[in-house]
């Protein structure tokens, strides 16, 4: 695959504008706490979740709220902050050291995380929603590897951060009654140095073997463990930073990759940085697709967009809109495919992945490619039919809640059925329904 | 700009919604796809998509059927010349075969594709590329003497009744080509079975005959005298192992050559288009049942009992059915495990039908259709087993 980012890290200056994108945080219902023109400091609450007011989202920058963008049905797309020149105002939080952590009650610790506005780094399976603070998770999964193309390499973002990671793991240990599972692949174990020694689980195989849901699927022993929580390694560093230093984290390591990206490497940037800071639009033709996040799960954005809260990468790939002449009879030396129907199978060179659909929407032909690639051994073609037929019992039995939303099934489908998007929508709908029932 | 691309771009407007040809838009799309892959890009994640399309998937099957078609033409000519006592010579035989076979193929495409266009216009579904495979399969399993109107009727029945009434490709549970063939078989047994239909008549002008009677290997076997060896009878009729394997005997147009089917199956398996699970199941089923009957065979039992099981794979279109019919993914079960069982049961049924019901020597055709019906049931069992292995997550 063409487009992997180099390991070099460049520290970029603070940009003029920084944004928080509420509608890129799944499940939440934001209630704004600021209006356009309000002054804000780093750590000042910008919005909270209507479902649980303790879930606060704090400002990653100091300055004034320049603009609040609304999407359809008054969803909040972006809160853009014009950064103050010079020193930004900042709200400080209490410090916590190792002894303090050891002596602390779970409830107190949770209170600190909630107040520090970083509860969002924790998420609960199976819905990947912010967890209920009152619930004690059976297990917490922490994934370091980054197998989705292209995410920051753990050996880059964990460099010299082993102590912070260790602190983060201790925090998680307080939150769960069960184990904290730190996993990565065998290669990164060797590369990570001291952090590698902390691993409790090694994953094998290609993406998405490093997804917490996929790991859980393989290690769970009973149904109670379905409600495990997870944190990504990069987010855990943010959490540890907040507690340790008493300051809102404002920077993270971001990878820029993809076949069309002008410079492919890692950057140290502000949270919510504008995408134009990461790739110079002047060096692009304007037709490329900007994907925030990995190629398979990220969302499409543009040069005017910003980094999302969870996202750690920007991928720029050719949109590739010209129809292929004689595509049907092309032996396909350079055509990536999961199937064996292209000569690219034998091509050792990295291939370019564009955004073309390479086919038309058709009925399922039962080729079973989707079932072959699913990391949690679902039968996506059958789940899809069950969802269309609204057979709730059936699709739950078939494992819809195990789905890790990896997108591989939709990638391989020759009939170009939007399998993974359908599953994501069905899972969200089911999660909403369950929440309704609880109320 | 590429002139062909220009042509399609120019024609495209006639098929837009609201224009007179709007209903034929699926037809336009399918024609355009012959030359161009679509330029559509993904709207949402996952952003890249596999280069494989259904069109290519189907095209590869057709590609592997072409050798069978050409061999079929040659063989039809060969058998006709043999029967007419003409000295065999390559080009005239091929030409004669082509004259016999191509009209059937063309009729099959005209009617198969025609119905697909009609239904796509009425029901507003896209043209399903499966119909191109169906229209190729169908003539290959007809006897060369099939009247044209019957071929038209058969493919129409297959596409309309076998597929469209169930909602089109993806929802049909019967293999449409086989449905059409079976329909003809039961509706017009005279033209579809017996000894007289498998060889086209080569009219030399002087002694014009109406039909040439030449028994297919399937029909030869039951004629084995009691206590005799079926293989010997076959050999005596000119059907030794090599002939059977290579396919130089009167049979359906394209189904006689085990060798070409074998090549087709191997290539399709290597490309990942045909399910090797079904094929393995088929072969094991046929061999297992064949051996079982061998064990049961006594001196008075029907000759089929003692037939060497490997022969079952060579005669009666077994190889063709295994390579191209059982592997139709839509009418087969939709789980890997069930596909082994599906194949195995087809194998068993094929042999059983041949042995116990000599009236229907085309065992594999009926066996496949029969198992098509049961495929959903097999799936249910397989899915049930899988669900039980999962740790529930509700
Ligand atoms: S169903 Fe699709 S999206 Fe879900 S885990 Fe399986 S392959 Fe991934
Ligand atoms: S990959 Fe697509 S066509 Fe193939 S079985 Fe799955 S849903 Fe059906």
First to last CA, chain A: 47
Identity of the residue in B2, B128, B273 whose CB atom sits nearest the CB atom of A341:
B273
| Residues B108/B109/B115/B116 CA torsion (nearest 10 deg) | 140
Residues 6+ apart with CB under 8 A from B26: B117, B120, B121, B124, B125, B126, B127
**How far does the centroid of ligand 2 lie from the alpha carbon of residue B129, in Å?**
15
Measured CA to CA, the distance from residue B379 to residue A372 in angstroms comes to 16
| Pairing assessment for the beta strands A63-70 and A140-143 based on DSSP bridges | unpaired
pLDDT, tens digit (0-9, with 9 covering 90-100), for B235-253? 777 788 888 888 888 888 8
Across B140-150, average pLDDT: 90
Q: Which of A433, A437, A431 is nearest to A131 (CA)?
A: A431
- Tell me the CB-side half-sphere exposure of residue A146, using CA atoms within 13 A: 24
Residues, chain A, total? 439
Say how many domains are in chain B: 2
- Residues facing residue A252 across a β-bridge: A269
Residue A252, SS3 per DSSP: strand
Residues B152 and B242 in one domain: no
How many other C-beta atoms are found inside a 10 Å radius of the C-beta of residue A62?
22
Distance in Å, CA A309 to ligand 2 centroid: 33
pTM for this one?
Answer: 0.92
Nearest Cα to Cα of residue A288 among A234, A352, A225: A352
Distances in whole angstroms, Cα of residue B113 to Cα of each of A104, A231, B132, B188, B295: 74, 54, 7, 23, 48
Ligand closest to A365 (CA) is 2
DSSP letter (8 states) at residue A276 = G
Residue B212 has pLDDT above 60, yes or no: yes
Q: Are B265 and B280 in contact (CB under 8 A)?
A: no
Q: Is the pLDDT of residue B2 over 90?
A: no
Question: In chain B, what's the furthest Cα-to-Cα distance?
Answer: 80
Asked if residue B18 belongs to a domain, the reply is no
Which residue would you say has higher pLDDT here, B128 or A108? Answer: A108
CB contacts, 8 Å: A340 with chain B: 270-272
Q: Does residue A150 have a cis bond before it (omega within 30 degrees)?
A: yes
Interface test with A, best of B8, B26, B30, B52 (most A CBs within 10 A): B52
Other beta carbons within 10 Å of B204: 12
> Residue A145: CB within 6 Å of ligand 1?
no
- Specify whether B279 is located in the same domain as B331: yes
Q: Tell me the C-alpha distance between B349 and B318, whole Å.
A: 12
Separation of CA A331 from chain center: 36
Closest to B270 (Cβ–Cβ): which among A300, A340, A381?
Answer: A340
Distance from CA of B304 to the nearest CA of A (A): 36
Q: Can you tell me whether residue A253 is helix, strand or coil? A: strand
pLDDT at B276 over 70: yes
Do the Cβ atoms of B127 and B29 come closer than 8 Å?
yes
Copy the structure tokens of residue A6: 């180099």
Q: Where are the domains of chain A?
A: 9-91+248-318, 98-245, 360-438
Q: Report helix angle B336-356 to B276-296, nearest 10.
A: 40
Residue B224 has pLDDT above 90, yes or no: no
CB contact under 8 A, B126 and A332: no
**Interstrand relation of A52-58 and A76-83 (parallel, antiparallel or unpaired):** unpaired
Rounded CA separation A63/B176 (Å): 69
In this prediction, residue B207 carries a pLDDT of 46
pLDDT for A360-387, tens place per residue? Answer: 888 899 999 999 999 999 999 999 999 9
Does residue B33 surpass a pLDDT of 90?
A: no
The half-sphere exposure of B272 on its side-chain side, counting CA atoms within 13 A, is 17
Give chain A positions within 8 Å (CB) of B26.
none
Residue A187: Cβ within 10 Å count:
13
- On whether any CB of chain B is under 8 Å from the CB of A146, the answer is no
Cβ–Cβ under 8 Å, residues A274 and A217: no
pLDDT 10s digits, B50-77: 999 998 999 999 999 999 999 999 999 9
Average pLDDT over residues A32-36: 95
Confidence of residue B372 (pLDDT cuts 50, 70, 90): very high
Instruction: State the burial class of residue B192 (Cβ atoms within 10 Å of its Cβ: 0-12, 13-18, 19+).
Output: buried
Atom of ligand 1 nearest to the CA of A213: 5
Tell me if residue B58 falls in helix, strand or coil.
helix
Q: Do you know the residue count of chain B?
A: 394
Asked if residue A414 has its Cβ within 6 Å of ligand 2, the reply is yes
Cβ–Cβ gap B42/A377 under 8 Å? no
Give a yes or no: residue B1 inside a domain: no
Co-location of B189 and B323 in the same domain:
no
Q: What is the pLDDT of residue B38?
A: 78
Residue B33 lies in a domain: no
Residues of A in contact with B390 (CB under 8 A): 377, 397, 399, 402
Question: From CA A398, how far away is CA A382, in angstroms rounded?
Answer: 8
Percent of residues, chain A, with pLDDT higher than 90:
77
Across the beta sheet with A39-40, the strand order is: A17-20, A76-83, A63-70, A39-40
Considering only CA atoms, give the Rg of chain A: 22
> Can you tell me the mean pLDDT for B113-141?
89
Q: Quick one: pLDDT at residue A73?
A: 86
For chain B, the average pLDDT equals 85
- Tell whether B319 and B349 lie within a shared domain: yes
Residues B194 and B86 in one domain: yes
Residue A35 has pLDDT above 70, yes or no: yes
- State mean pLDDT over B42-47: 85
Quick: pLDDT tens for A343-361.
888 888 888 888 888 888 8
> Residue B106 is encoded by which pair of tokens?
């063309």
In this structure, what DSSP letter does residue A141 have? E
Q: Among all chains, which residue has been given the structure tokens 């030399």? A: B204
Provide the domain limits for residue B369.
217-249+257-385
CB A84 within 8 A of CB A65: no
The verdict on B198 and B227 lying in the same domain is no
Task: Tabulate helix, strand, coil % of chain A (nearest 5).
Answer: 30, 20, 45
Angle between helices B276-296 and B258-271 (to 10 degrees): 140
* Chain A nearest C-alpha distance from B169 (Å): 7
* Helix (H), strand (E) counts: chain B: 17, 0
Dist. CA A25–CA A29, nearest whole Å = 9
CA of A338 to the centre of ligand 2 (A): 13
Other Cβ atoms less than 10 A from the Cβ of A408: the count is 24
Q: Is A26 exposed, middle or buried (0-12, 13-18, 19+ CB in 10 A)?
A: middle
Q: What's the CA angle centered on A425, arms A411 and A420, to 5 degrees?
A: 10
Ligand 1 in reach of A376 Cβ (< 6 A)? yes
Residues of A in contact with B34 (CB under 8 A): 328
Percent of chain B beyond pLDDT 90?
Answer: 40
Is A354 strand, coil or helix? coil
- Distance (Å) from CA A365 to ligand 2 centroid: 6
**pLDDT recorded at residue B345:** 96
Q: Enumerate the β-bridge partners of residue A316.
A: A290
ipTM of the complex: 0.89
pLDDT of residue B354: 84
Chain centroid offset of residue B388 CA: 36
**Domain annotation covers residue B3:** no
Supply the pLDDT for residue B361.
60
Number of CB pairs < 8 Å for A and B? 224
pLDDT at A190: 82
Closest CA to A320 of A276, A351, A361, A347: A351
pLDDT classification of B30: cutoffs 50, 70, 90: confident
Confirm whether B78 is domain-assigned.
yes
**Token pair recorded at residue A359:** 């086919």
Lowest mean pLDDT among A210-219, A225-234, B156-165, B265-274: B156-165
B23 within domain boundaries? no
- Alpha-carbon distance A25 to A17, whole Å? 20
Q: What is the pLDDT of residue A18?
A: 95
Residue B358 is predicted with a pLDDT of: 64
Residues B175 and B222 in one domain: no
Q: Tell whether B103 and B234 lie within a shared domain.
A: no
Q: Given a cut of 60, is residue A299 above it in pLDDT?
A: yes
Q: Which long-range contacts (CB under 8 A, 24 or more apart) does A191-198 make?
A: A191/A154, A191/A155, A192/A144, A192/A154, A192/A155, A192/A158, A192/A162, A193/A162, A194/A162, A195/A144, A195/A154, A195/A158, A195/A161, A195/A162, A195/A165, A198/A162, A198/A165, A198/A166, A198/A169
Q: Taking residues B143-163, report their average pLDDT.
A: 90
| Crossing angle of helices B90-123 and B148-160, rounded to 10° | 40
Identify the band that residue A17 occupies on the pLDDT scale cut at 50, 70 and 90.
Answer: very high
The backbone torsions φ and ψ at residue A268, rounded to the nearest 5 degrees and listed phi first, read -100, 110
Read off the tokens for A346: 């034998």
- Give residue B281's pLDDT band: very low, low, confident or very high (50, 70, 90): very high
**Do residues B348 and B286 share a domain?**
yes
Tell me the per-residue pLDDT of A162-191, one tens digit each, with 9 for 90 and over: 999 999 999 999 999 999 999 998 888 888
Give the mean model confidence (pLDDT) for residues A409-416: 94
Burial class (CB in 10 A: 0-12, 13-18, 19+), B373: exposed
Quick one: B78 and B158 in the same domain? Answer: yes
Cα distances (Å, whole numbers) of residue B197 to B212, B216, B322: 7, 10, 23
Report the distance separating Cα A428 and Cα A208, nearest Å. Answer: 20
Q: Are residues B233 and B359 in the same domain?
A: yes
- Residue A123 φ/ψ region, left for φ over 0, alpha for ψ in the -120 to 50 degree band, beta for the rest: beta
* A360 Cα to the center of ligand 2, angstroms: 13
**Token pair of B197 as six digits:** 């239909």
Cis bond before residue B46 (omega within 30° of 0): yes
Q: Which of B33, B49, B386 has the CB atom closest to A356's CB atom?
A: B49
Is B47 a domain residue? Answer: no
Kindly state the percentage of chain A with pLDDT values over 70: 100
Which tops the pLDDT comparison, B222 or A191?
A191
Do B286 and B309 lie in one domain? The reply is yes
Q: Which tokens hold the place of B386?
A: 């899988």
Which whole number is the average pLDDT over A260-280?
94
Closest ligand 1 atom number to CA of residue A404: 5
Distance CA B262, CA B248 (A): 15
* Model pLDDT, residue B205: 46
Residue B45 included in any domain: no
Q: Is the pLDDT of residue A426 over 90?
A: yes
């Amino acid at each position: 695959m063409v487009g992997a980012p180099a390991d070099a890290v460049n520290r970029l200056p603070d940009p003029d504008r920084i944004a928080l994108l509420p509608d890129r945080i799944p499940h939440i219902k934001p209630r704004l706490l600021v209006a356009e023109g309000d002054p804000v400091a780093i750590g000042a609450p910008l919005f909270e979740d209507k479902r649980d007011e303790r879930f606060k989202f704090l400002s990653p920058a100091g300055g004034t709220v320049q603009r609040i963008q609304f999407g359809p049905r008054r969803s909040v797309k972006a809160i853009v902050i014009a950064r103050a020149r010079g020193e930004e105002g900042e709200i400080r939080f209490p410090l916590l050291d190792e002894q303090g952590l050891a002596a602390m009650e779970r409830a107190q610790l949770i209170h600190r995380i909630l107040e520090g506005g970083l509860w969002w780094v924790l998420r609960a399976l199976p819905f990947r929603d912010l967890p209920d603070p009152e619930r004690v998770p059976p297990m917490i999964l922490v994934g370091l590897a980054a197998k989705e193309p292209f995410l920051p390499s753990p050996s880059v973002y964990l460099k010299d951060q082993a102590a912070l990671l260790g602190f983060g793991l201790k925090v998680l240990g307080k939150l769960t009654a069960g184990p904290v599972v730190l996993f990565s692949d065998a290669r990164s174990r060797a590369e990570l140095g001291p952090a590698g020694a902390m691993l409790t689980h090694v994953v094998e195989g290609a993406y998405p073997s490093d997804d917490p849901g996929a790991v859980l699927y393989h290690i769970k022993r009973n149904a109670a463990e379905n409600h495990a929580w997870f944190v990504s390694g990069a987010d855990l560093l943010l959490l540890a930073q907040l507690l340790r230093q008493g300051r809102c984290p404002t920077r993270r390591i971001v990878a820029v990759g993809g076949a069309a990206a002008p410079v492919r490497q890692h950057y140290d940037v502000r949270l919510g940085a504008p995408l134009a800071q990461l790739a110079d639009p002047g060096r692009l033709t304007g037709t490329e697709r900007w994907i925030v996040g990995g190629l398979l799960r990220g969302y499409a954005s543009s040069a005017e967009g910003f980094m999302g809260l969870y996202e750690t990468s920007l991928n720029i790939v050719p949109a590739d809109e010209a129809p292929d002449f004689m595509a049907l009879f092309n032996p396909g030396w350079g055509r990536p495919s999961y199937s064996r129907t292209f000569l690219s199978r034998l091509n050792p060179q990295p291939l370019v992945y564009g955004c073309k659909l390479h086919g038309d929407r058709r009925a399922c032909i039962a080729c079973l490619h989707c079932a072959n690639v699913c990391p949690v051994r679902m039968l996506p073609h059958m789940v899809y039919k069950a969802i269309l037929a609204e057979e709730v019992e059936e699709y739950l039995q078939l494992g819809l809640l195990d789905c890790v939303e990896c997108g591989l099934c939709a990638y391989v489908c020759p009939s170009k059925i939007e399998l993974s998007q359908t599953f994501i929508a069905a899972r969200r709908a089911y999660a909403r329904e369950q929440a309704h029932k609880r109320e | 700009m590429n002139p062909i691309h220009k042509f399609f771009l120019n024609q495209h407007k006639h098929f837009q919604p609201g224009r007179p040809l709007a209903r034929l838009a699926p037809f336009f799309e399918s024609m355009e796809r012959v030359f161009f892959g679509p330029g559509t890009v993904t709207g949402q994640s996952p952003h890249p998509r596999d280069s494989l399309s259904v069109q290519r998937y189907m095209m590869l099957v057709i590609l592997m059927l072409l050798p069978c078609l050409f061999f079929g033409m040659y063989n039809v000519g060969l058998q006709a010349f043999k029967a007419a006592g003409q000295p065999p010579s390559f080009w005239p035989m091929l030409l004669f075969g082509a004259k016999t076979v191509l009209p059937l193929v063309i009729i099959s495409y005209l009617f198969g594709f025609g119905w697909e266009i009609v239904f796509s216009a009425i029901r507003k579904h896209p043209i399903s590329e499966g119909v191109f495979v169906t229209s190729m399969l169908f003539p290959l399993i007809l006897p060369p003497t099939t009247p044209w109107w019957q071929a038209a009727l058969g493919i129409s029945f297959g596409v309309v009744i076998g597929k469209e009434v169930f909602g089109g490709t993806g929802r049909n549970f019967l293999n449409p080509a086989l449905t059409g063939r079976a329909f003809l078989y039961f509706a017009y047994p005279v033209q579809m079975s017996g000894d007289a239909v498998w060889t086209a008549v080569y009219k030399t002008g002087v002694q014009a005959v109406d039909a040439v009677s030449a028994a297919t290997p399937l029909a030869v076997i039951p004629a084995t005298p009691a206590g005799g060896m079926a293989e010997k009878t076959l050999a005596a009729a000119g059907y030794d192992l090599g002939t059977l394997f290579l396919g130089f005997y009167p049979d359906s147009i394209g189904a006689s050559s085990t060798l070409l089917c074998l090549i087709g199956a191997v290539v399709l398996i290597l490309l990942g288009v045909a399910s090797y699970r079904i094929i393995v199941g088929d072969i094991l089923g046929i061999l297992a049942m064949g051996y079982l009957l061998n064990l049961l065979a006594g001196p008075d039992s029907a000759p089929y009992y003692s037939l060497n099981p490997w022969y079952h794979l060579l005669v009666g279109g077994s190889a063709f059915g295994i390579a191209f019919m059982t592997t139709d993914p839509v009418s087969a079960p939709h789980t890997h495990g069930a596909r082994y069982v599906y194949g195995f049961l087809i194998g068993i049924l094929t042999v059983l039908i041949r042995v116990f019901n000599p009236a229907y020597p085309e065992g594999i055709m009926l066996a496949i259709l029969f198992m098509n019906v049961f495929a959903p049931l097999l799936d249910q069992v397989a899915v049930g087993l899988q669900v039980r292995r999962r740790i529930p997550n509700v």
